[in-house]
Structure 1
Amino acid sequence: MSMIRSVNPGALKPDEVAGYVIEPALKASVFAQAATQMPFASANLRIPKVQDGSAAWTAEGTEIGVSDAVIGEIVAPAKAIKSLTFLSNELVADGNPGTLDLIGNGAAREIAAQLDLAAFGATTEHGPAGIESVVGTQALADTSDLANLDDIKALIAQVQASGYSPDVLVATPAVFARLAVLKESAGSNRDLLQPDATAANGYRVAGLNILVSKHVEENRIHIWDSTMVILGVRQDAELVTSTDAAFSSDRTSVRAVARFAIAFPAPEAIGSLTVAA
């Protein structure tokens, strides 16, 4: 049976596309691992923002003071990541069942890379605004020499003082390499990083889950409360093929489309520091 039949346009339902492309992309994306994922199906992801009313100690038999919760809304537009690849018709004609997995995994890696690049950056043409564009985040006044964990702990304290619970630290591979060799004291062989088999890469630092991405800006560390960093995943992903566009070269084109929204509803739940080179 040829693969054309397996993946012709309309043959893959949205839930099938999710299995081949979206789920692998979310597993491969560092940002997706560090954020709260929300499915949505419209042009915008809408996140309610509630400022609680007030409560007070009140004497028995007296009127209770009335206050209203203030309800707002954060609107994050869906942005599309699209990829177009070509396969030789010889490969398609082989009908290997694993070929569709290879196509999906390839598209997933491309989508994950573009998602992380945008999320950890500032602005991306035709894409969402990333963490470096967020105004009002916590920051240390000076760069850190990263000689110990003091600056990271100070940043954690700042975020906690704003009422949030940071649980994630994201850094570049180079910065993680510096963290990985920090010791308890001069001459000690005991690492400051805490081994944790349940953590994403096997370590925690000051209680935070460590995630590493080459798409984080150079010499930057971010910590945040993952409940306040939102990744919207729209439920209309596409994976379709066509033999028309590359007819003259005897190839089949494969188009993948995924749409995401990114929102940072509480900038003060995010802390960032710059590491001295």
Structure 2
Amino acid sequence: MALYTTTAGVSAISPDQIEQLIVLPVQSNSIAFQAATLVTTNATETRIPRVTDDPSAAWTAEGDEIGTSDPKIDDIAVLPKKLAGLVVVSNETVADTNPAADSIVGDGLTRDIARKVDAAFFGSNSAAPTLQPEGLEDQTDATEVTAPTAWADADPFAEAISNVEGLGLGIGSFVANPADALLLAQLKESTTSSRPLLGSDPSNPTRRALQGVPMLVSPAVTAGTVWGIPSTRAVIVRRNDVDLQVDRSAYFTSDRTAIRATMRVGFAFTQPAAIQKISLAAE
């Protein structure tokens, strides 16, 4: 990215550059984007359809009329909320080589935007309901699975998988806090085995798997809780108007440059009962 000044002190940055410097790094760094299904839109509000009741089939004699039935369908209105970040750097830094200038954005704004997306997705918007979308902690109809007071085996996760299979779905990933991920990684298959309870994901050997399901790790998840997420029932809506601006005029008197990034995202949990919240019991 060339951070050079154009008219009125603002740098022109192409959509392709914004894609490479903001959109793709945020999606790569955000665990929420990896655990959910992404929908992109140009609309201010997006309606995500959901089926609340399936149509009904029936055994029918040959030649008889086939009974009709309709699925019950409604939708969830998602209004993406704005995430904005601003960094101010010296013009000496901006005048450095392009890779160094790129790292200002990549190492700062994109990672922080990804952290904020994860904090909202795995958390609650109770402190700022008008500014932040509802997250997993706001889904009161999520299925709760109670584990013992400490992680001891994979039974709670097997229960979560069974719950989701009962709905005709599958868990795309478990997501845990790093502290819980470490404790689970230290568990062994049995008291007489040194083989770890967590296996490896065949599609990604560096990723851990729990009961054959990939386990992702995010500090945004509350310690003592592991989420089981069917990716088809957790949707992230991202507006296409992701923006990146570079402006030298605002801090002209201090010889500094402002770099601003904005991204609008919202969440939809189309079947809350399919979301599994596995939590340690209180001692």
TM-score (norm 2): 0.90
Corresponding letter in the other structure for 1:202: R
Deviation at 1:237, TM superposition (A): 0.6
Deviation at 1:2, TM superposition (A): 7.0
Distance 1:17 1:2 in 2: 12
Pair 1:256-2:230 in alignment: no
Who is 1:88 aligned against?
90
Corresponding letter in the other structure for 2:83: I
Deviation at 1:54, TM superposition (A): 1.8
Identity in percent: 35
List gaps (5 residues or longer) in structure 2: none
Q: Does the Cα contact within 8 Å between 1:2 and 1:92 map onto a contact in 2? A: no
Residue in structure 2 matching 1:74, options 73, 76, 83: 76
Give the length in aligned residue pairs. 276
List gaps (5 residues or longer) in structure 1: none
Counterparts of residues 161-240 of structure 1 (less than 5 Å): 161-196=166-201, 198-199=203-204, 201-240=206-245
Deviation at 1:195, TM superposition (A): 2.0
CA 1:197–1:155: 2 relative to 1, 3 Å:
closer
CA 1:86–1:18: 2 relative to 1, 3 Å:
same
TM-score (norm 1): 0.92
Distance 1:200 1:22 in 2: 26
Deviation at 1:187, TM superposition (A): 3.0
Q: Does the Cα contact within 8 Å between 1:128 and 1:261 map onto a contact in 2? A: yes
Corresponding letter in the other structure for 1:48: P
CA 1:29–1:164: 2 relative to 1, 3 Å:
same
Distance 2:213 2:149 in 1: 18
Pair 1:28-2:29 in alignment: yes
Distance 1:121 1:200 in 2: 29
Distance 2:228 2:2 in 1: 48
For residues 126-150 of structure 1, the C-alpha deviation after alignment (integer angstroms, 9 at most, x for no partner) is 1111101012111125655211111
Deviation at 1:6, TM superposition (A): 8.3
User: For the aligned residues, what is the CA RMSD?
Assistant: 2.2
Q: Does the Cα contact within 8 Å between 1:148 and 1:182 map onto a contact in 2? A: yes
Aligned to 2:204, the other structure's residue is in SS state coil
Who is 1:16 aligned against?
17
Corresponding letter in the other structure for 1:42: A
